Amino acid sequence: MTYNTGEIYSQSKELKDIVESYNWTLYETNHFTDAFTFGELEAKGPAKKYIIGLNYIFTPIKKENESLGYAYSITKGFGPMITIENPNDRKWQELIVMPKMDKIEAFFTRIYFKPNLVVLTTPKKQFLKIPDHVGVKYNDFIEMMKKDFKIVTPQEYGIIIPQGLPSSYN
């Protein structure tokens, strides 16, 4: 369900700067009625501003002469993460996270700008029945991103990503 208010998120530039400082960016996904291809996302281009009520996918910034699908396939979307030092902190309005190793870390591929809350999560998949889900109030969000957000590689977590480009990434 979307709640498109048409209102631009007032800290769009700060968020864009934070995400792009890691060579990643956000693409809006609401305009697709069904599943989308990375070619369709690439044709539309990365979001310049973020709209309350819309959803976005995190992707690596593609290199010159590289498709967005290929850039994404290298990571399979693995990368965006926040560290949760205190799960009882008031900034966490919604928090469903499985502890990993000795830390509480939330991994996600999507950002949802709900009317009163920013949500970071990943769509449910066959292999991911309960994805991490973090909801933060707008007035706490940028500070949380500055402090707790980073991009990690699959190798840092011992995850091997098969090489090659599945047809679904074209």
What pLDDT tens digit does each residue of the chain (170 aa) get?
456 668 999 999 999 999 999 999 999 998 665 667 888 899 999 999 999 999 999 999 999 999 999 998 888 778 899 999 898 999 999 999 877 667 788 989 999 999 999 999 987 765 567 888 999 999 999 999 999 999 988 778 776 665 554 444 44
Are 169 and 70 spatial neighbours (Cβ–Cβ below 8 Å)?
Answer: yes
Predicted pLDDT at 167: 45
Beta bridge partners of 103: 100
Task: Report yes or no on 7 lying in a domain.
Answer: no
Residue 26 lies in a domain: yes
Whether 1 maps to a domain, the answer reads no
Residue 34 pLDDT: 63
Asked if 36 and 29 count as a contact pair (C-beta separation under 8 A), the reply is yes
- Host domain of residue 116: 12-155
| Sequence-separated (6 or more) residues with CB below 8 Å from residue 162 | none
Q: What is the pLDDT of residue 161?
A: 60
For residue 127, is it within any domain? Answer: yes
Total domains, the chain: 1
* Rounded (5°) CA angle 23-69-2: 80
Distance CA 111, CA 161 (A): 23
Q: For residue 37, is it within any domain?
A: yes
* Distance from C-alpha of 104 to C-alpha of 100, rounded to nearest angstrom: 6
In a domain? residue 116:
yes
Q: Does residue 166 belong to any structural domain of this protein?
A: no
